[in-house]
Amino acid sequence: MVVRTILIVDDEPGTRQGIRKTLELWADGRYRIESVANGVEAAEWLAHNTAHLLITDVRMPEISGLDLIRSLEDRPDRPASVVISGYAEFEYVQTALRFGTVGYLLKPIDKDELLEITERALKQEEERHRAEKLAKLVDPKLFAMEEEVLRPNGPVGEVMAYVDEHLQEHLTMADMAAKVHLNASYFSVLFKEQAGITFSEYVTRRRIQRAKELLTQTRLSVGEIAEQVGYNTDKYFIKVFKQLEQISPSRYRNEMAALQ
């Protein structure tokens, strides 16, 4: 189990140590609490570690809290953020809020407010990562079909169910049409009409969907997964996966692991 981490960044030793002590008592070992003295140290720490929550002073020399938050925008494992400010710095706070910061703490920091916003930020971070992981895991076209209850009964539904249970096998439209006693040309038109995508696209999307589940939930190699979802070579599997997901299977696995 990954221990979630809170990183505190403040160039005032008293504030930094006070926040750390309060959070360590509250966390009681449930979270890893780390602290650094400025934005430069924070950037270095974040280059080699993952934080789930960043609590940072909004104004610091060299690298400000705002710069730090901006620098993390495109990271798949970006943390939730809370900024610390003085009354004269509210313009900076407003900018931070536009970057998705959960909220702010005014100095001197109230312990109850610190704990309340910490719990809220961690909850939001967990929900966001869960949503991002689901979005990366689920094929949008297949999801839309199921959401709109477009999976039909009859021959097309029967073939869909068969495909889902036999992804590792060689699946052709001609064989599937014969299975439901239909002419291949007629079945091709019927499938596209009822499913909204062609038979071959459906098979490809189902195979890649299953591959994503295996990449996320197992330690099987890419080659083993390719075989389980019906590809004779991992090279061709990787090519198809990249075409559909714009990312390699290995990188997909790493990015999903980062969202844990």
Helix intervals (H) in 166-233: 173-179, 184-195, 199-217, 222-228
Q: Is the pLDDT of residue 76 over 90?
A: no
Distance CA 254, CA 260 (A): 10
DSSP H helices, the chain, are 13-27, 39-48, 65-71, 90-98, 111-137, 140-147, 154-165, 173-179, 184-195, 199-217, 222-228, 234-245, 249-258
Question: Cα(103)–Cα(126) distance, rounded to whole angstroms?
Answer: 16
Q: Which domains can be identified in the chain, with CATH numbers?
A: 5-129 (3.40.50.2300), 140-258 (1.10.10.60)
Please indicate whether residue 259 or residue 164 has the higher confidence score (pLDDT). 164
pTM of the entire structure? Answer: 0.72
Pairing of strands 103-106, 80-85: parallel
**Closest CA relative to residue 11, chosen from 76, 72, 114, 86:** 86
Tokens of 144: 């839309």
**What tokens appear for 62 in the block?**
């060299």
Q: What is the pLDDT of residues 169-191, one digit of tens each?
A: 999 999 999 999 999 999 999 99
Over residues 115-156, the pLDDT tens digits come to 999 999 999 999 988 888 888 888 988 887 765 545 667 899
Over 90: is that where the pLDDT of 40 sits? yes
Tell me the pLDDT of the chain averaged across its residues.
91
Return the pLDDT at 260: 63
| 217, 178 Cβ separation under 8 angstroms | no
Question: Using CA of residue 164, residue 211, residue 259, residue 247, what is the dihedral sign?
Answer: negative
pLDDT in the model for residue 145: 76
**22 burial via Cβ count (<10 Å: 0-12, 13-18, 19+):** middle
Q: Picking from 96-100, 107-111, 221-225, which range would have the lowest pLDDT averaged per residue?
A: 96-100
